[in-house]
Chains A and B, each alone.
Chain A
């Protein structure tokens, strides 16, 4: 009955063909390992250049003595409208935040729409109105755009791409990015986790909330601006979108070959969000956020940074969650509530709900 093969009998060649290699699967868009593989294996070899190889949220471009930040993002969310916002909010704030993560003041956006035949005009109006309001709140102007329509069945109602330009102010010294992260740095998150992902899922899964969970979609530039104005030495900024805190920190740990040590008791998750995760069998560390970011600062400045962040509305719930250590490199480690340690790994693809 038992398979009693010994080690020496193994023939190390794999007969099972890997389908994931010759086709795109949904997991390639999950932000996890497969997304990274796609970037490394397909896009980088084709487009590779020093700017692209920074692999940060946006590109920092020297132009006539100034530095501009340039970024692009596409939005394919379903449902289009969810508690707390719509694809329109995501499209504006997503790009605004990517610019903020470079330490750049967001200035101008473009918007490209791919509309599905049969989309209700009212839905489009709602999306566009929310974009207008979000742009006003974020202090950016939509200066150019494009529209295409595809056959019914070939799109999810609306796909939006926004690209953005921002200006890196003169008071930003050096480059803000993973390369600047130091051993000993404090890791701070700008608020509680998981709201956006759960807000989306709540519509898809028909979950009812006593007080509904709203997406946290918002511009985080006000917080970044406050930190810059206060003279805080910012090493790295990264938003916590697809794949959540766990994915973002893994990317940075990997890029910089350091260890990020987290404490579970410090990680902020609102009770209802936690409950939703328990029911669906999801880990809040991997759930998407849209108005949250992580910032790396020298340990000595952590208290000062927190004070500045808590005064800004969008980051009132800022909390220090961990620190940077030297080893084990390329790893994120979590000390659990009960005191044991575990590695917080990168996901292969999308986090699937489980019942087991």
Chain B
């Protein structure tokens, strides 16, 4: 596939890795923000190409993992109503709530359907006027324009049997929260490429300045991530702390203006709970103005029991990159994808699931890629 396959080229990957080996003179800890990036790193075994000096930690860039448990419980409660068709992206289905996941609810007879686009959910509402269609609008800023458009089109076409259960989270406040923690071990960031495609990367300049950390907007293919790491390492070695853009083919500094306008029309910024991290101010979206009528939280007032988290799940420490999944005592023992104790084990981007499936159960030896002309270390 054009503009995809070429960024998986082996020779180019080795060359970029070689450049990283050349640059590195001491240990650095770099965090990639987005779950999609985690997925690529672990799936391609990218860390095997890098020197031991580079530690990659996986950040909270998994909207599935950070959706608060009581919202999952709410989703399940709504899905169990007989008049409701509950639509969701596949990612959310297996996340455990206090007692069950949406998948479990489906097994018990709830009408839960996987959709690929919020517009599919809207279409279902039009096709099923006697049912109530509720869409689980989870995601970072990347998905916000799509969800905003679903609400906007519903309003335009006067569709009433449609609502959104919103759990949008924003990246820059989360980064700030991580950086301001005294536990923060991260020295450089690979920012989420597609989030920045929408929002641009203007917001990261004050963060880079305040915390003196390099931030490189990075894409999702192996070459993107290797180049992003190279750019970050270069900055770290040279004592710079700037915002740079690796993902130049898809992302501009000002982002996508029409998308931003639609977001602002439909959503407003609010404080949000992040599962595992607590409340972060101004870190979420909710429906505003004339779109409030589509808020599923209002249509289905809560009567869920207070949420209970497993005391064993250390997802907070994992999401901050302070611990790696295999350092959790429950990892792969009590906590497995079939019996997850917390969200990072369920979501395919969750650090724990990625580690479990792709096998980082021990720290593998890193061997410098065998390349002609590579200086040995």
Whether the complex brings A and B within 8 Å at their CB atoms is answered yes
Residues of A within 8 A of B (CB): 1-5, 7, 10-12, 14-20, 23-27, 33-34, 37, 205, 265, 271, 274-275, 278, 280-281, 331, 333, 335-343, 345, 348-349, 352-356
From B89, B277, B317, A355 is in contact (CB under 8 Å) with B89
Question: Is there contact, CB below 8 Å, between A343 and B359?
Answer: yes
Question: Is there contact, CB below 8 Å, between B359 and A278?
Answer: no
Question: Is there contact, CB below 8 Å, between B44 and A2?
Answer: no
B48 proximal to A (CB < 8 A)? yes
Determine, out of B210-218, B233-241, B332-340, the stretch whose residues face the partner at the interface: B332-340
Which residues of the partner chain B approach A342 to less than 8 Å between Cβ atoms? 42-45, 358-359
Residues of B within 8 A of A (CB): 1, 4, 8-10, 13-14, 35-36, 39, 42-49, 62-64, 89-91, 93-94, 96, 98-100, 103-104, 106-108, 114, 116, 139, 143, 177, 181, 183, 222, 276-280, 308, 310-312, 314, 316-317, 320, 322, 329-330, 334, 336-339, 341, 347-349, 356-359, 364, 369
Nearest-Cβ distance from residue B238 to partner chain A, whole angstroms: 26
Which residues of the partner chain A approach B322 to less than 8 Å between Cβ atoms? 2
Question: Is there contact, CB below 8 Å, between A19 and B100?
Answer: yes
Which residues of the partner chain B approach A278 to less than 8 Å between Cβ atoms? 1, 4
Binding site of B, secondary structure by majority: helix, strand, loop or mixed?
A: loop
* A1-B278, A5-B314, A14-B312 known; A338-B49 Cβ under 8 A: yes
Which residues of the partner chain A approach B13 to less than 8 Å between Cβ atoms? 337-339
From B45, B94, B279, B320, A352 is in contact (CB under 8 Å) with B94
Question: Is there contact, CB below 8 Å, between A19 and B104?
Answer: yes
Q: How many pairs, one residue from A and one from B, have CB atoms within 8 Å of each other in the complex?
A: 166
Question: Is there contact, CB below 8 Å, between B43 and A336?
Answer: yes
Nearest-Cβ distance from residue B230 to partner chain A, whole angstroms: 14
Question: Is there contact, CB below 8 Å, between B330 and A12?
Answer: yes
Nearest-Cβ distance from residue A23 to partner chain B, whole angstroms: 6
Which residues of the partner chain A approach B317 to less than 8 Å between Cβ atoms? 2-5
Which B-chain residue is minimally distant from A283 (CB atoms)?
B43
Which A-chain residue is minimally distant from B184 (CB atoms)?
A2
**Distance of A214 Cα from B111 Cα, bound (Å):** 30
Which residues of the partner chain B approach A10 to less than 8 Å between Cβ atoms? 311-312, 329-330
Question: Is there contact, CB below 8 Å, between A356 and B96?
Answer: no
Question: Is there contact, CB below 8 Å, between A12 and B114?
Answer: no
Which B-chain residue is minimally distant from A279 (CB atoms)?
B116
7 examples of A-B residue contacts, CB within 8 angstroms: A10-B330, A15-B308, A26-B103, A338-B49, A343-B358, A345-B356, A356-B139
Which B-chain residue is minimally distant from A16 (CB atoms)?
B310
**Distance of A17 Cα from B278 Cα, bound (Å):** 24
Nearest-Cβ distance from residue B277 to partner chain A, whole angstroms: 7
Which B-chain residue is minimally distant from A4 (CB atoms)?
B183
From A26, A205, A275, A356, B63 is in contact (CB under 8 Å) with A356
